[in-house]
Structure 1
């Protein structure tokens, strides 16, 4: 892995002279993967803007919350994943002007660019549910969607012997759409093994009309939920939290009715959206209530600004926001950006591929892979993708992390 030191200046970051050939906003999986592919293709003068000095492998946080992986294995120094030859500006983007081709950084510095890759990810809107921001991380409320809380999830699961456990899913698009229910299955399996499952009421709150958007996998998950005795509330959403009273309000969007539910454990997933500065930018898609960036669903090029591409969670695409989606999007963005640099129209196409590793027990998993049309697109076509398998769980726990660190982030996969 490359070892990089961020370019920093006292106070505001000083803008470099002239236009940078490529600016990449965001140093997560999407931004680093695209930057690595561009460098491998020989592109020079790439600047990556990222404020954090820590890079997280987020797909493993579910297993952290389920007691199956230590948090430390999901973390590396940001400088260790920045590709050689890529300039890292450790700053925060706060605005973009695609007409003038400028990115404004915190402190007021401006970064001029020729081509722009937008990969800032999304933000967790803890304030989107009244009372959630105050409750999470305290008493009996946790969430695997933040590294500071994921280990606490396991503490709460491990210490519970009776009572009511509630697992929620927001109505907004979110990263890893299966994660809100995966932790419910991991918890239920642990309680089953501890012989206390019969003393625990489990409620899973889902905003959609089914457990999963692809019917075949939804049917399997219905059987998994029934196996654990989980009460599934479809078309429903947690709309308020009272941490002091240990109660939530669940609204049934099909009927408009509200129910107050007491809990002894609450795993809450916050609503999610594009970063606020992205919402306010000309790049935001007017059709997206969450302010995600407009992008052609196949080329990932912005419909109004041909020098701008969006990749990863921030792109307003009709597919699930997952690391597997990023793995397929990164080569498309890199290839199409090279086309544009050379005066050609974009020639690479993304078919909407995404993957949801659906952990259903502490040693079983379904690997749901599909495209824009919800057609299954299995990586292992000889294996029945609708069967829970230990091999798939082993693949997620031990196979995918090195693929991520050594393949995807380096532009090799």
Structure 2
């Protein structure tokens, strides 16, 4: 294969919400010669997939052509990045192209490690197992929920950082609410397996979620993980890390969430955090600049910042990265700082949502100070179902929010 070479003043790896948002903001700041590396034809609004799995939205509503959301004036390199050499300021792509840069923004997203839990990848091909973490499987989740009238339903969450850490709980509550409406909730045992010691990392939201779980009669296993899956036999092993015990549970419905990490190719670069097996790009948690390479920035799910990996976090990180990239291009001090803001709209029923907002302090940081967002609310449901998607497509991806 012959190789080609090109150069951009700013090169962005990843055309998801982070990459497109930063590109749009840089263009609005009149930065020219921006290249964006992204192989996909389709762009997904992934927060909708929980509602797809819960029977509250069609999957097609989450997808749009990648070409339709690319900022004007940005060179789309329709290829996949495979390596970064920060010393020589070079990115190598799957097609063999070598792209050099002055400033690099790394946001390739997160990797779903289905193989890390024995039996998980194989179980997804069986009739009773699904996951809202892929576009293709989210509709299957709703089919399983709709068809179940009795038996045991298990909803699991892995250890370690994952994108949208509330999603494993959200689908359990939407399923329970559906079964309640159908009059079969009393015939279904619901088990929620969480690796954390509590329902949520912020006390106010954890207390509300405990009330929600109790209302539905959900058995919550904290400090626990699903460590083995027998898809054909419809059985799982749940390991309690606090008590050191293992429990074998049969299921009629299983919703799984895979462990997650930086893409393998990122782990192999000099940008990865050497102290973390997950291999996230090691950045200063406030400036988003790499700790060893001053012309490299990272944001989104592949960055090492210790916040929750959510779209709302990216919405706050993107303007920080854009402003700091412009400053770095001018050899000026970095003016912008990210405070760790993240938001997780936790759907607790069809028509009810708890809006959890917090930052590095792990304290509530509400955007709506006149209303109590630490409780389930109907208006927050409409924000989740319609408002946030409109904000995403019309403002965030255009560098306006």
Query: TM-score scaled to structure 2, two decimals?
Result: 0.99
Deviation of 1:73 (Å): 0.4
Match of 2:97 in 1: 109
Deviation of 1:13 (Å): 7.0
Describe the superposition over 1:325-362 as per-residue Cα deviations: whole angstroms up to 9, x where unpaired. Answer: 00000000000001101111211000000000010001
- In 1, the alpha carbon distance for the partners of 2:64 and 2:3 equals 24
Is residue 78 from structure 1 mapped to residue 66 from structure 2 by the alignment? yes
Contact 2:113-2:260 at 8 Å conserved across structures:
yes
Match of 2:37 in 1: 49
Deviation of 1:148 (Å): 0.6
Secondary structure of the 1:224 match is helix
Deviation of 1:257 (Å): 1.2
Match of 1:31 in 2: 19
Secondary structure of the 2:324 match is helix
Contact 1:207-1:237 at 8 Å conserved across structures:
yes
- In 2, the alpha carbon distance for the partners of 1:137 and 1:183 equals 20
- In 2, the alpha carbon distance for the partners of 1:371 and 1:244 equals 42
- In 2, the alpha carbon distance for the partners of 1:204 and 1:13 equals 50
Contact 1:356-1:368 at 8 Å conserved across structures:
yes
- The equivalent position to 1:316 in structure 2, one of 291, 300, 304, is 304
- The equivalent position to 2:370 in structure 1, one of 365, 368, 382, is 382
- In 2, the alpha carbon distance for the partners of 1:249 and 1:12 equals 50
Deviation of 1:288 (Å): 2.0
- In 2, the alpha carbon distance for the partners of 1:374 and 1:51 equals 36
- In 2, the alpha carbon distance for the partners of 1:159 and 1:89 equals 44
Match of 2:358 in 1: 370
Is residue 122 from structure 1 mapped to residue 110 from structure 2 by the alignment? yes
The Cα RMSD (Å) is 0.9
Match of 1:403 in 2: 391
- In 1, the alpha carbon distance for the partners of 2:275 and 2:379 equals 40
- The equivalent position to 2:5 in structure 1, one of 15, 22, 42, is 15
Match of 1:7 in 2: none
Deviation of 1:12 (Å): 6.7
- In 2, the alpha carbon distance for the partners of 1:289 and 1:351 equals 25
- The equivalent position to 2:156 in structure 1, one of 164, 168, 175, is 168
Secondary structure of the 2:169 match is helix
Is residue 361 from structure 1 mapped to residue 349 from structure 2 by the alignment? yes
Match of 2:197 in 1: 209
Is residue 336 from structure 1 mapped to residue 324 from structure 2 by the alignment? yes
1:227-266 alignment, distance < 5 Å: 227-266=215-254
Query: TM-score scaled to structure 1, two decimals?
Result: 0.96
Contact 1:137-1:152 at 8 Å conserved across structures:
no
- In 1, the alpha carbon distance for the partners of 2:357 and 2:114 equals 29
Match of 1:133 in 2: 121
Is residue 181 from structure 1 mapped to residue 169 from structure 2 by the alignment? yes
- The equivalent position to 1:90 in structure 2, one of 75, 78, 99, is 78
Describe the superposition over 1:160-206 as per-residue Cα deviations: whole angstroms up to 9, x where unpaired. Answer: 00000000000021000000000000000000000000000000000
Describe the superposition over 1:97-122 as per-residue Cα deviations: whole angstroms up to 9, x where unpaired. Answer: 00000001013221111110000001
Match of 1:158 in 2: 146
Secondary structure of the 2:210 match is helix
- The equivalent position to 1:62 in structure 2, one of 46, 50, 59, is 50
Contact 1:53-1:78 at 8 Å conserved across structures:
yes
Describe the superposition over 1:288-344 as per-residue Cα deviations: whole angstroms up to 9, x where unpaired. Answer: 221111010100000100100001000111110000000000000000001101111
Contact 1:13-1:105 at 8 Å conserved across structures:
no
Match of 2:284 in 1: 296
Secondary structure of the 2:398 match is coil
Runs of 4+ in 1 over 3 A off after TM superposition: 11-14
Deviation of 1:138 (Å): 2.3
Structure 1: any 5+ residue segments left out of the alignment?
1-10
Report the count of equivalent residues.
401
